[in-house]
Structure 1
Amino acid sequence: MRNPDHYLQHLYDSVKPAEGFEARTPEEWQAWRARLKEQFVRLLGVPEGRQELAPVLLESVDCGSYTRERIAISTFGPLTMPAYVLIPKTYDRERGAVIAIHGHGYGSRDLVGLNPDGSEKTGDDPGYQRNFALELVRRGHLTIVPELLGFGDRRLAEDAEKGDSCYRLSTNLLMMGQTMAGHRVFETLRCVDYVLSRGDAAPDRIGCMGISGGGLVSAFAAAIDERLAAAVVSGYANTFQASILSVHHCIDNFIPGLSQLAELPDLLGLIAPRPLLIEAGTEDPIFPVAAADEAHDKLRAIYRQSNAETLLAYDRFEGDHQISGKLAFDWFAGIWPTREVQHERA
């Protein structure tokens, strides 16, 4: 008796994504982009019960060159999302704001130099996420670090001693016709609402950066919301066939019917013509670099069709599943150069 390995390949080969990129003109690209975005939003599923943000300040800590605040905002229904807000002491709104999105681990504290209990990290190992929110605020960006659903303070009570609540939350959402990816993406977009409500960041200079599961959120949020003017996607740009469907991944990655709609590079291509930087480690065991190269090649074709090929950057670095930062940490400052601010005459 044959094992069913061949059946999985048969399924993949038999499905031709309905909106795989095939545009040959700018007009076809625009039409493809509009169709794919509409259908992708439908598959993600917008959580019901959008709420007023009603931000609440939970703490404020002077960290020398920046202030670290922890706030809570209301997002959808009864959901409340905590987030760190890192504010440079010499902040200039033209430096822009970046939403920094963590991957699997213990949540937002990992990105701001804290241990799970809130104490300061010590030692030389910053972990695979490399405290990247701190790197951004040190470069002058207002930096927002949301706590994704299922991690840190947002685990289920039954998982208080476990790493995350991805499995039970994801399976329950799937049974309700919703997705964990959709909840995380649309809650992250509430952070864009929050940044705009502050009034201290240029509204056309809001970006996002995420790794792994946070790379998914960064990519998908930028794909569907053009208020995100630029995106860094680390440890995620790949193909579904080579990664999500071939290597063991958390259930929070799965969206019913998505392979029938598009491959991952097509979805990343929705970000065009806005600036996009992808990071890929040559030794990443769960997002193979050969498929990352394939995704980049397809993205180049999409960006070329949108007349924006120079706005696509690729950091293919020696390393495994981790933040590189070689290009990313200074990238937003490079794409958002200092501009003259016109002052009205008194």
Structure 2
Amino acid sequence: MDRTIKIEPYYGSLKGMMAKYDALARQDAFKGNTTADYETWKKRARSILQDLLGLDKMEDCPLMPRMLEKKELAGGIVREKVLLQVEPDTWMPVFILIPSGKSEERQNCFIALPGHMGAGKYSVAGCREIPAVRDAIERFHYDYGMQLAEMGYVAICPDCRGFGERRDEALQNNREDAFLNSTCFQLAHMAEPLGQTVAGMCTYDVMRLLDYIEERGEWNPDTVGCLGFSGGGMQTLWAAAMDDRIRQAVISGYMYGYKDSLLYLNGNCSCNYVPHLWEHFDMGDIASLIAPRPLLIQSCRDDNLNGPRGLRNVQEQVDIVRKIYALYGKEDRLIHDIREGGHCWHREPLQEVLPFFRNLLKV
């Protein structure tokens, strides 16, 4: 016996919300014509975003770095585990992969940020000895921190908030699904009523890593990069947009218009959503704040997160960014790398593009 009834038609909210987006979105997009116009807009845009992210509510404190572990891996790579205090009594564990140095010059370093369903830093740092992590690496090619270290870069691989060892109470257990997953949903429920956001907390934590790089003083501050795939791409986007100490950036699997990919596809992780953001900016506007620093954007042709219009939705946002690079005559510093297949990181750009970026930063 049926216990429900068939409902037809339904009267959902999506159509009305899409119309609201068209009426209200992108009110503070760049409208100037010169680099001076852009620099003025950049200051104002960052001020707006700082408020929206809740960065004004983050609390400064000493980093109090603690070395918890030091281990030599294959190929002469040393893996340190360091614990940093990012806010009072709020701690961030970090794997740091340090290749053997053969030069008197300070090594170049990248912050390598984790995406979802990879157990945070464990996948990024290439911890294949953990079976669930090995499977995540095979699925998404998630070990880009280790890939960087094998290329000679120091790779700083943190657990962002809600990931790995920083999971909140709801997922603090050893089940595989909990180990791989994150507590972004719970974090958003805690943060947003206090005027904070998950994206803002993650952005602030990357800024604390930049503080740590400066404080430690061992690596070249003029070439510091930030890289991430999927949710790691989101963090890279925000951090590079908000902090010029990031001298080069690689955003993979996270560049598309908000209307198609986060409004129409409205079941995405809570970390993507910043209250009032869409009234002010689209994703390309935020990425424009990275200009004219070297920026690689990687997209996959069949990535479902591109939305129903596919790469057209992506290209529209890249074109917004490209216009700013053109103002500076630095179009070569923005590279859009398009790969075949679905939602996945591709390592080829590291070998092809990073040496080019390194030469740009020497000029």
TM normalised by structure 1 equals 0.92
Deviations 1:147-167 (A, max 9, x none): 010011111233124222111
Quote the offset at 1:171 in angstroms: 1.0
Say which of 318, 323, 334 aligns to 2:345. 323
Match of 1:53, as an amino acid?
L
The CA distance in 1 between the partners of 2:291 and 2:147, in whole Å, is: 26
Q: Which residue is equivalent to 2:123?
A: 110
Q: Is the 8 A contact 1:95 1:333 kept in 2?
A: no
The CA distance in 2 between the partners of 1:333 and 1:95, in whole Å, is: 14
1:314 aligns with 2:314: no
The CA distance in 1 between the partners of 2:14 and 2:166, in whole Å, is: 37
Deviations 1:286-305 (A, max 9, x none): 13422111111221112111
Q: Which residue is equivalent to 1:153?
A: 165
SS in 1 for 2:207: helix
Say which of 56, 64, 71 aligns to 2:82. 71
Compared CA separation, residues 60 and 330, structure 1 to 2 (3 A):
farther
Q: Which residue is equivalent to 2:98?
A: 87
Q: Is the 8 A contact 1:139 1:330 kept in 2?
A: no
Compared CA separation, residues 338 and 63, structure 1 to 2 (3 A):
farther
Q: Which residue is equivalent to 2:46?
A: 37
TM normalised by structure 2 equals 0.88
Quote the offset at 1:89 in angstroms: 0.9
The CA distance in 2 between the partners of 1:298 and 1:26, in whole Å, is: 15
Q: Which residue is equivalent to 1:246?
A: 264
Q: Is the 8 A contact 1:276 1:313 kept in 2?
A: yes
Q: Which residue is equivalent to 2:4?
A: none
1:221 aligns with 2:233: no
Quote the offset at 1:257 in angstroms: 0.6
The CA distance in 2 between the partners of 1:272 and 1:114, in whole Å, is: 34
Compared CA separation, residues 169 and 120, structure 1 to 2 (3 A):
closer
Match of 2:246, as an amino acid?
L
The CA distance in 1 between the partners of 2:276 and 2:244, in whole Å, is: 24
The CA distance in 2 between the partners of 1:339 and 1:252, in whole Å, is: 32
Q: Return structure 1 stretches of 4+ with deviation > 4 angstroms.
A: 91-95, 117-125
Compared CA separation, residues 187 and 216, structure 1 to 2 (3 A):
same
CA RMSD of aligned residues (A): 2.2
The CA distance in 2 between the partners of 1:180 and 1:124, in whole Å, is: 23
Compared CA separation, residues 148 and 271, structure 1 to 2 (3 A):
same
Q: Is the 8 A contact 1:17 1:260 kept in 2?
A: yes
Q: How many residues align?
A: 339
Quote the offset at 1:197 in angstroms: 1.5
The CA distance in 1 between the partners of 2:208 and 2:58, in whole Å, is: 13
Match of 1:314, as an amino acid?
H
The CA distance in 1 between the partners of 2:163 and 2:192, in whole Å, is: 18
The CA distance in 2 between the partners of 1:338 and 1:267, in whole Å, is: 23
1:298 aligns with 2:309: no
The CA distance in 1 between the partners of 2:254 and 2:168, in whole Å, is: 26
The CA distance in 2 between the partners of 1:196 and 1:331, in whole Å, is: 25
Compared CA separation, residues 329 and 209, structure 1 to 2 (3 A):
farther
The CA distance in 2 between the partners of 1:26 and 1:159, in whole Å, is: 47
Compared CA separation, residues 338 and 173, structure 1 to 2 (3 A):
closer
1:268 aligns with 2:280: no
Say which of 9, 13, 34 aligns to 2:22. 13
Quote the offset at 1:6 in angstroms: 2.1
Quote the offset at 1:121 in angstroms: 6.2
| Percent of aligned pairs sharing the same letter | 28
Q: Which residue is equivalent to 2:225?
A: 207
Larger helix proportion of the pair: 2
1:258 aligns with 2:277: yes
SS in 2 for 1:233: strand
Deviations 1:267-319 (A, max 9, x none): 00000010110000001011342211111122111211133211000111102
1:27 aligns with 2:39: no
Q: Which runs of 5+ in 2 are unaligned?
A: 1-8
Deviations 1:30-88 (A, max 9, x none): 21111111111111112432111111111111013210111100001221000000101
1:56 aligns with 2:66: yes
The CA distance in 2 between the partners of 1:250 and 1:190, in whole Å, is: 24
Say which of 128, 143, 148 aligns to 1:131. 143
Q: Which runs of 5+ in 1 are unaligned?
A: 341-346
Which shifted more, 162-171 or 67-76?
162-171
